[in-house]
Structure 1
């Protein structure tokens, strides 16, 4: 996989042309590109805005003609997050409002391979470790705990307690084996070492609920948090007393954010203000572009590992969109 550099550009007058897929009766919560197959992506969606009803995992294929349904799987409660396996191109895990995780195989479209139900409330986050040799998954729940899983084992390996509020996001470090971050309604960002009993590093990152976090792909000490206060803050783990940058522009809560896999200083964020924004935190004017092509809360966001300019997002307006914002297109 090549990892290019560079990027920039002013915001266009119109949003970039997007390929869209309709999710009738389902409201998008999370979307993720396959790490293996260019053009394949998955969306975790829920009926009735995730407040009631069932959920659907939608696996999509994209080509020049558009986006097409490859597989869909229904679950009896809302689905809030999805992560692809890092060792099997056909396997995914979703997290649900009934406190369970489901393992799916796109080659076996009859139902989940396994269901793990240990959380006592909604599971809002699930992530598969990218570290070599690890087969670890972390989940974060409204029951204020994170749990560590090996998909080959029928129960959780351990439970991480300490947050005093809902956990909205749990994300593995792409650099440090066994290390993950969690973002919570208790206004803290916490850094955990799954291989050590030591207490986590606690960062009082915002004076508001923190809904999302992500790690920089190029700097193992840098991660960013996004919160209900509409701000993003960058944190250097070597000195957590003050953020190394702050980004402002969203007008409602930031629901999800992702660092670029190709650009060291670029990240994207989506929000309840219906927009996706692209930032370069190294620039004096960091906001590169604002994309507004949804008509409801924009909840899911991912940047392709295969195409440097490709982005996917999903929203409560029952659509998934794949597009290339001008700020990520490298001039030839």
Structure 2
């Protein structure tokens, strides 16, 4: 697809520092960007809807919120809906066919929402939010209140991610150094608790080819892989980043490929089957890199965003289709 090939495409968001970027699951050229003023510490936030075209990045619309926006997820059952999580503990639902304002805002968390994720299995109407208040909440956007609250983490919940295989199952990563596996039918306690190192776990993701494998990224700059059938020790550990890992993503196009971004200003590509060090290091940012995603429709294509007010869409050499 010519419009999605190299060279890299940059989108600039003056006055807004990027926290999360995600490709649309419906349209290969479209992505959303969640960002905040003042590095997300104070001020408002903005959701940007962007198309990547032969002429470059085109802003389709932007939506402002009264607090920083730290994560976003496209709906899996409607190409025009996006959910975001804010610094005020509110979850917003946006219809990108509407000119402004969320179509719904729900607030139950008492601190920042740092993670939102839309179910990809048969329960495509369900949303997860993970918060600095140490809880995870389950939502149906048709309801005005959450369906359940998951309690057990002893520190900030940085990430809550649905299994792409098992309906009603999700993983969470926390500052309490644990990775936890949950069943929505049992909100009282996690099904599996994995002590996943001696540092805060900021990010996790499921392998897209094996329902038992998850990957975590930690403050100690290490990426670890976990097999739920034998979680006492990591199945692999990858090193190369020099600061905390902000986000790790498993490729939808290869069982063993990963990408990660970090507070060391870099994005790194990995193959956990062949190398414990990066295949490639991307250095096109001058601040913390916080957002990262693979394009489901275009093998080898990645988007990232950073606090330098720049979002990049590109094709790393190491992930080019053969």
SS of residue in 2 equivalent to 1:110 = coil
User: Relative contact order: is structure 1 or structure 2 higher (C-alpha 8 Å, sep ≥ 6)?
Assistant: 1
Q: How many residues align?
A: 316
Distance 2:96 2:241 in 1: 36
Aligned equivalent of 1:30, options 20, 33, 41: 20
Instruction: Return closer, same or farther for 1:239/1:105 CA change in 2, 3 Å cut-off.
Output: same
Matched, 1:185 2:202: no
Q: Which residue of 2 aligns with 1:156?
A: 146
* TM-score normalised by L of structure 2: 0.96
SS of residue in 1 equivalent to 2:318 = helix
Instruction: Return closer, same or farther for 1:163/1:66 CA change in 2, 3 Å cut-off.
Output: same
Distance 1:286 1:180 in 2: 28
**RMSD of aligned alpha carbons:** 1.0
Distance 2:33 2:201 in 1: 22
User: Displacement of 1:59 after TM fit?
Assistant: 0.5
SS of residue in 1 equivalent to 2:279 = strand
Instruction: Return closer, same or farther for 1:56/1:198 CA change in 2, 3 Å cut-off.
Output: closer
- Is 2:253–2:299's contact at 8 Å kept on the other side of the alignment? yes
Which digits, 9 at most, give the CA deviation of each residue in 1:254-303, with x for residues without a partner? 00010000001001000000000010000045521110100000000000
- Is 2:150–2:187's contact at 8 Å kept on the other side of the alignment? no
SS of residue in 1 equivalent to 2:285 = coil
Q: Which residue of 2 aligns with 1:208?
A: 199
Aligned equivalent of 1:319, options 303, 310, 315: 310
Which digits, 9 at most, give the CA deviation of each residue in 1:147-183, with x for residues without a partner? 0001111110000000000011111000010111111
5+ residue gaps, structure 2, are 1-5
Distance 2:158 2:318 in 1: 28
More displaced 10-residue stretch of structure 1: 132-141 or 250-259:
132-141
Aligned equivalent of 2:136, options 121, 130, 146: 146
* TM-score normalised by L of structure 1: 0.94
Q: Which residue of 2 aligns with 1:10?
A: none
Distance 1:186 1:117 in 2: 24
Q: Which residue of 1 aligns with 2:289?
A: 298
5+ residue gaps, structure 1, are 1-15
